Amino acid sequence: MKKVLMTLAVAFVAVAANAQVYVGGNVGIASSKIGNGDNVTTYKVLPEVGYNINKDWAVGTTLGWGKGTPVNIEGESRNYFTVQPYARYTFVHSKYVNVFVDGGFGYTHYNHAHLPLGTPSVNEWSVGLKPGVAVNLNQKLSFVAHVGFAGWKSVKAEGANDDSHVWGVDLDGNNVTFGVYYNF
C-alpha cells in the first residue's frame, strides 16, 4: 500500500511540475425555513482536480459530499455523495478572464440515513453542459463561477418502479456556483 501511495505522490508531483494541474472546488452553506417548519441547514463541500491538456482543453472531476434536498422530495434533507467528471473547452482567453463550458456527466447518491424507516435512498444521474467563467487573479489563483446547466437529469428512488427525467436549460440565479482554483 505504501508503494502505491508513494507512486501516486511522485506522479502527482511530476504532473504538477509541468504547470498543467489545478485543484480547488466549491463550498457552500445555507439555512432555510418554510412556513412554521424547523430551520434546515444545508451544506456542500465539492473539491475539484483537473488537468490542462492544452490551452483550450482540460479534463477534471468534482468529488464531494453534502447535505441538501433533492428537487422532487419536499420537506426532507438528505446527506449525499456526488462525482462529476467533465471535459472543459475554453473558448475565450484573455489575461484576466477565461470563458469556458464543461461537458460531462454526474452521479449523486442521496442517503436515507436519519430519515423515517422505509424512506428510500435516491440516485440522480445527469449529462449536460455547464457554462462558466474564470477570473485569473494571478498566474496561480483563479476565481471560478459556473452558471446553470443544460442537459438531461434522471432521479430514481430505491425500489421505485418509476423515475423522473427532465431535459432542459436551467440558467436561473439559484443555479450558480463559485469556487477558487490553484494552478500549479
The domain that holds 98 is classified in CATH as 2.40.160.20
Q: What was the pLDDT predicted at 1?
A: 59
pLDDT recorded at residue 68 = 75
Please determine, for residue 122, whether its predicted confidence score (pLDDT) is greater than 90.
no
Domain that holds residue 68: 2-183
pLDDT surpasses 60 at 106: yes
Number of domains in the chain: 1
Torsion angle in degrees (nearest 10) through CA of 177, 180, 183, 184 = -120
What is the Cα gyration radius of the chain? 18
pLDDT recorded at residue 71:
45
The pLDDT score that the predictor gives to residue 38 is: 74
Which of 15-19, 134-138, 159-163 reaches the highest mean pLDDT? 134-138
SS3 135: strand
Could you read off the pLDDT of 142-159 as tens digits, one per residue? 999 988 889 999 988 877
Q: Global pTM?
A: 0.78
Percentage of the chain exceeding pLDDT 90: 45
d(CA 184, CA 182): 6
**Cell 485543484, located at residue:** 23
pLDDT, one tens digit per residue, over 23-82 is: 999 888 877 776 777 777 788 899 999 999 999 999 999 999 988 764 444 456 678 899
Taking every pair of C-alpha atoms in the chain, what is the biggest distance, in angstroms? 56
